[in-house]
Each structure stands twice: as C-alpha cells, then as structure tokens.
Amino acid sequence: MIISRRLALRSSAATAALAAAGLNVAFAADKVYRIGITLPLTGADAEAAHLILNGALLAIKLANASGELKGITLEPMVLNNATATAGQYDPAQAATNARKLVGDKKVLANVGPEMSGSGKAMAPILSMGMLATITPSSTAPDITSAQFAGEFDPGGKPIYFRTVTTDAYQGPNMANFYAETLKTPSVYVLDDSGAYGVGLADAFEAQAKKKGIKVLGRDRLDPKAADYSAVLTKIKATGTSSLYYGGTMQAAVKLVKQSYQIVPKIIKGGGDGILSPEMMTAAGFPAAEGWYATNASPHVVDDPKLASWVALYSKTYNLQPDDYAITSYDAALVAIAGIKAVQASGKPLTSANVRDAIQTVHVNGLQGPISFDKYGDLETRVVAVFQFKQNKSAPLAYLNKQSVYIGVAPQS
C-alpha cells in the first residue's frame, strides 16, 4: 500500500482552509476511530513536543478533509507523557497512557512517544494489546532490538515503528563528525541518566574511541540538580578539547548555561534531545552559541519542494515547523496508510490488523520513502548535523532560524 505526500497536499483551497481551522470534513454516518498522540506536552521539552504534536494533527486534519478514508472520521486522542513531579517525560505516566490507548478499541494506532524512556515503558503494554505506535523522535535501539524482544515485544510482533533512525547511528555518526570534520583529539562525555541519554552517550563514546578520540572521562548528571559546576570544573581540569552530552533539555538548559561560564572555548555537542526551541528560549544565547546537535532524520524542512506544507503548518499553528514536525506528520501518514490498507483488504478495522498493514506499508512521506525492516526500524539511516547560531532578526523559538544546517554526519 503506497500513500503519497502529494495526496495530502493537493486538497482544494476550501479543504485546506477547513483543515487549517481544525475542522473535520465528515458525514454524520461516518464511523469515528482514533489515533493516539503521546508526547511530553508540559515540562522541559514541551516546546519541541508541541511542534511534533502539530505535525501529527495536521496529517489527521488533512485526511479527514480529503475524505480519503471513506466512511471514517479520525479523531486524535492526545495524551501527555509528562508530569509536574518529573518536570519532563515520566515513564510511569507513559505506561498509564499506553493502557488507556489499549483499553479503547476505537484507537487504531498511536503517534509517539517523543522520548525513549517513555517508549520503554509503553512498548510492552502496546505489544500485548497489539497496538502499533509510530515514533517520530524516539531513538533508543534497544526497543526494537531482537536481543530485547522478550522485554519490549512480549506480544511477538513488532509494534514499535520509527520515522527516524536510531542511536545506533546517531551516536556513532556524531562521533565520526567530531573526528573527521571537527578533528577534535579529546572529548569528555556526559549523559542525563535517562534511557535515551545513556544509550546515546554510550554509542557516541564507543565510536569516538574507535576513531582515535581520547575519551577523558564520563559522568552522569542528575536532571533535577541545579548546579553542575563541580563536574564542569573537573572537565576543565582535564584539558579536553570537546564535550558531548547525551540527554534532553531538563539537564541541558543548566548544562549549556553553566558550561558557557566554566568551559566557554571547547567544542560542545549533543543529540536530537537538544535540537529544541528550549535551547534558545530557556538556555539562551550567548550560552547556546556554537553548540552542535544531530537530528535522526534528513533535514528537509527548508526544502523548497515542501514550501507549501511549511506555509500551511505555519498558518495553522502560528509556529515554524522543525524536521521532527515532519517526521511526526509522516508517522501519522503511516498510521493512515495502515488504516487504508485494512479498509482495502476487507478485514475488520482493528488495531491488530492495522499493525499488520503498517509492517509492510510503503509511504512517500515528506522526508522521502518510508518503509520498515522486520523489527520496525526505518530502512533509511540519515543523521543530520546542525550548529546553533543566533539570528537576532528571527524569534528565538524558531529553531530553523536559530540553527544552521551543517550537513549529513559521516556514516560508519
């Protein structure tokens, strides 16, 4: 089953206007089914999460407006994976949300989660309920690894699909960039104690050593701590030429600010957990200036071919999209394609049948062709590199205006 990005963009002006207004085009007799969207919509990563949320919502709106799912209206079921107690994503809340999704027989698929820590909590529950989730940004490779199938896939069929690549490529490819492009001789590695941050930092560190970069130390940050000056002072004493951080924005905001004071001259970088509006709006310039970050997908948001989609997104949500808004839109397209395939087959419209369809679906997404290997991982493995550079003429929250695309990270 192939669904084209052009199909989503060829709506009439009236249909696009309805979609932009957030209205569903449906007949009274249409059956209502749901697509879940599970993201940390409050806390340290909320701005990035809302960019992702909007991408999925836009795909659902356009599908309803076009009437392509004959006899069906799709309804988003938006659930917050963050809690005030955690201050960011909370695996316990993510598990609760997974149970809500599985318990609602009208939910045919889910878009999310954003974070791998949430993914590890959700995957076993979704697996037993045979409900597919398509993550636009969760990159921990363990979740889709055959080695850990007993833990994360107890139902026996892959349910965790991705429209991004994994940290098995994101971490090592950034280490290649440090070695081959930045030519840094040494690095100090930090993580934020979370599933995503630890795994990403591990993958980076292993490849850095293979590339001949001297790893001068490794430390783990408490994301709730306020002061990282002790570890940064230790890092300064090593004389390292660079720093790499694996983690999300809760720790990164403080790390970015304090490292600017203590080790302002060294090269600094991280993964997609810091490629976020919060780097500008919370950490801020000049502290964020010069930091490198990766994206586990191609950089396409500035592609002239997507200008009409970017304009529609911006008009609808009064925000500039980022690349993960695009991978989220594509994730929703995957779910929609799975639903259409089940409709065409004549089989009952159940989450299990939609899962089976998603396994073999081919989607021409905004980022390009999307298909999955037998584990649910995206078959293309592009890692993009950016550098934060202040643009005083643009709003701070506009990620694509406050960062510069460097290129594709060297592949191993």
CA distances to 65, 125, 238, 292, 331 from 16, in Å:
8, 36, 57, 37, 20
80 token code pair = 């917050």
User: Taking the complete model, does pTM exceed 0.85, yes or no?
Assistant: yes
Consecutive H or E run containing 251 = helix 249-262
Whole-number Å distance between alpha carbons of 402 and 277: 9
CA distances to 66, 113, 158, 252, 384 from 247, in Å:
39, 15, 26, 7, 17
H helix intervals, 42-183:
46-66, 91-103, 116-128, 149-152, 167-176
Whole-number Å distance between alpha carbons of 300 and 406: 13
Write out residues in the chain with pLDDT < 50, as ranges. 1-28
pLDDT of amino acid 29: 57
Q: Which residues contact 46 (CB under 8 A, 6 or more apart)?
A: 40, 82
pLDDT of amino acid 30: 79
pLDDT of amino acid 20: 40
N-terminal to C-terminal alpha carbon distance within the chain: 32
